[in-house]
Amino acid sequence: MPVPTSYTPIDYDAFLRAHVLSQPHNVVRYEEGGETLWVKRAGALNPQWRYRALGAVAKVLRMPVLSPIPNPGGHVAVATEVRRLQDFAARGLRAPQVLAANNEGFVMRHLGAPGQPTPSLGNELQQATARGANAVLLPWKQGLQAISKVHKAGTTLSQAFARNLVRCPDGVIGYIDFEDDPSAHLPLPVCQARDALCYAHSTAWMLAQAEALPEARKHWKAWVQTLSPETREVLQQSIARMAWAGRLPLDRKLGRDGQRIRMAFELLRTGT
């Protein structure tokens, strides 16, 4: 993103030192010098037993895409996010610009412009459901294109949920939330298949609400063909091992999570 044309120069290192330890929350937004900044502080450490439990489930189901990505939290998570944001920028991908960093946290520039919203794609889709299938399909397909751009650049997202794709004021979709690095722990085709499954899981239920699933399946099928052969193979194997999801009820008898898994399977199983 370009530097704002009207702003007061800031010593970002000093700004970070002045706020990172004293701010009331781990992530805080500031309006400073005519621009919008975010300071993110190292959070608490995450318990490792959760990752071991999820790893065991992935092995039992023979689904490497479910393998947990370690995120120990604390200073390590800060360093990982800074590195990944900088890597995305170096690849020409739209992500917040890191302006200063230290062991306690970092400061980054807002993807939008002061006073202008940068809604998540998840919010866009949810708000569009009342307007029908076409209104939902347009931003949904743009999300697929945004994920393709990441894959073509030779990398992967951390969690490719619709909430982590944001609409910048110029219409470009940017990327946020990089506290973990899947490609440091899993082969790239597995990571990219994981991106596809995350996006499907986070959006299929909204497609269903807008009665857009039949049309979305056609686009999904075409999009899957643009993936690398290795990624398609991982994706197809994963979906085959998700056959149990086709037996889940379409209503909320098993709760919202169960319904969303079923809707995602409805999108996926005819798309490969």
Q: Same structural domain for residues 257 and 139?
A: yes
Q: Determine, yes or no, domain membership for 228.
A: yes
Asked if 6 and 76 touch (Cβ cutoff 8 Å), the reply is no
Domain residues for the domain of 19 are 12-109
Residues of the chain by 3-state class (helix, strand, coil), percent to 5 = 55, 10, 35
The pLDDT value recorded for residue 165 is 98
Q: Same structural domain for residues 134 and 83?
A: no
Q: Same structural domain for residues 161 and 89?
A: no
Number of domains in the chain: 2
258: enclosing H helix or E strand = helix 255-268
Please identify, among 109, 135, 151, the residue that sits at the C-terminal boundary of a domain. Answer: 109
Asked if 246 and 265 touch (Cβ cutoff 8 Å), the reply is yes
Please identify, among 50, 83, 109, the residue that sits at the C-terminal boundary of a domain. Answer: 109
Mean pLDDT in consecutive groups of 10 residues from the start of the chain, 272 residues: 61 97 95 92 69 52 72 88 97 97 96 83 96 97 98 96 95 94 94 95 95 96 96 93 73 68 83 46
Which pair of structure tokens corresponds to residue 208? 């269903």
Q: Same structural domain for residues 55 and 170?
A: no
CA distance 153 to 91: 6
Q: Same structural domain for residues 103 and 128?
A: no
Q: Same structural domain for residues 126 and 216?
A: yes
Please identify, among 83, 109, 135, the residue that sits at the C-terminal boundary of a domain. Answer: 109
Q: Same structural domain for residues 131 and 261?
A: yes
CA distance 191 to 65: 7
Please choose, from the candidates 106, 42, 98, the residue with its C-alpha nearest in 3D space to the C-alpha of residue 71. Answer: 42
